Amino acid sequence: MKKTLLVLAAAAVASAIGFAQSSSARQQLARGREAWDQRLTKTAIEAVQEATRDPATAAEAHELLGIIYAFKGWQQDNVFPGFHDEPAYREKALAELQAALKADPRRFTARQAQIVAEGFAAADRVDPMLRRPAITLLDAQIERGRSPDVPIGELIETLQTRMKAQADSTPYF
C-alpha cells in the first residue's frame, strides 16, 4: 500500500513538473511571437529558443525561429532602414525549418516556410517583405491623424496601438 502511494505521488510530481515545463515553454513561445510581431528579433529569438526544448512546442518554435532567421538572412534590409541582411542566418533558417518538420512532419505552415526560404536561397534577389495589413492600416490612420479635424486623443491612441503592434524606426513627426 505504501509503495503504491509512493509510486502515485512520484507520478503526480513528475506530471506536475512536465506540465510546468510545458506551460513555461508555451509562455516563452507566446513571448517570442509577441516580440517577433514587433520585429524585436533578438528578444524573439531568445524566447523561442527556450520553447524548442519542449516536445510540446518544438515544432512551432522551430518554425518560428526559421521564419525569424529567414527574415534576418534575406529580408531585414528591406524592412529596416540602415539594417543589412545577415547571411549567417540563412543556413540557420533552413535548419530550423527542417527541425520543425522533423518534430511534426505534417506541419503545413513549416513546409510552406521552408519552400519560401529555399526560394530565397536560390534567388539572385529577394523582394522586400510586405507589411502586415494591420500595420498598413494603422499607418494610414496615423497619416489621417495629421489633419486638424482628428481629435488628439484618437491620434495618441492610434500611435500607442501602432507602437505596440510593431516597433520600428519609422518617425511619426
Examine the domain organization and report whether 152 and 98 are in the same domain: no
Is the residue at 42 inside a domain?
yes
Examine the domain organization and report whether 110 and 40 are in the same domain: yes
Examine the domain organization and report whether 73 and 99 are in the same domain: yes
Query: Per the structure, how many domains does the chain have?
Result: 2
Examine the domain organization and report whether 115 and 79 are in the same domain: yes
Query: How high does pLDDT run on average in the chain?
Result: 84
Q: What is the pLDDT of residue 128?
A: 76
Across residues 106-131, what is the average pLDDT? 92
Question: Got the DSSP string for the chain?
Answer: -HHHHHHHHHHHHHHHHHHHHHHHHHHHHHHHHHHHHTT-HHHHHHHHHHHTTSTTTHHHHHHHHHHHHHIIIIIHHHHSTT----THHHHHHHHHHHHHHHH-TT-HHHHHHHHHHHHHHH-SS-PPPPPPHHHHHHHHHHHHTTSTTS-HHHHHHHHHHHHHH--------
Examine the domain organization and report whether 140 and 90 are in the same domain: no
Burial 101-111 (b: 16+ CB within 10 A, else e): bebeeebeebe
Q: What is the pLDDT of residue 1?
A: 56
Is the residue at 66 inside a domain?
yes
CA atoms within 13 A on the CB side of 46: 4
Examine the domain organization and report whether 64 and 108 are in the same domain: yes
Is the residue at 94 inside a domain?
yes
Which segment of 55-64, 92-101, 132-141 scores lowest on mean pLDDT? 132-141
Examine the domain organization and report whether 110 and 153 are in the same domain: no
CA distance 121 to 34: 27
Examine the domain organization and report whether 72 and 141 are in the same domain: no
Is the residue at 142 inside a domain?
yes
Instruction: Check whether 81 has a pLDDT greater than 70.
Output: no
pLDDT tens by residue, 27-43 = 999 999 999 988 889 99
Is the residue at 127 inside a domain?
no
Examine the domain organization and report whether 141 and 71 are in the same domain: no
Is the residue at 38 inside a domain?
yes
CA distance 79 to 61: 23
| The C-alpha cell that represents 143 in the structure block | 497619416
Examine the domain organization and report whether 82 and 140 are in the same domain: no
Is the residue at 173 inside a domain?
no
Does the model's pTM come out above 0.95?
A: no
Question: Residue 49 maps to which CATH number?
Answer: 1.25.40.10
Q: Which domain does 147 fall in, by range?
A: 133-165
Examine the domain organization and report whether 103 and 29 are in the same domain: yes
Residues 6+ apart with CB under 8 A from 50: 24, 25, 28, 32
Examine the domain organization and report whether 159 and 140 are in the same domain: yes
Higher pLDDT, 136 or 130: 136
Is the residue at 172 inside a domain?
no
Q: What is the pLDDT of residue 164?
A: 84
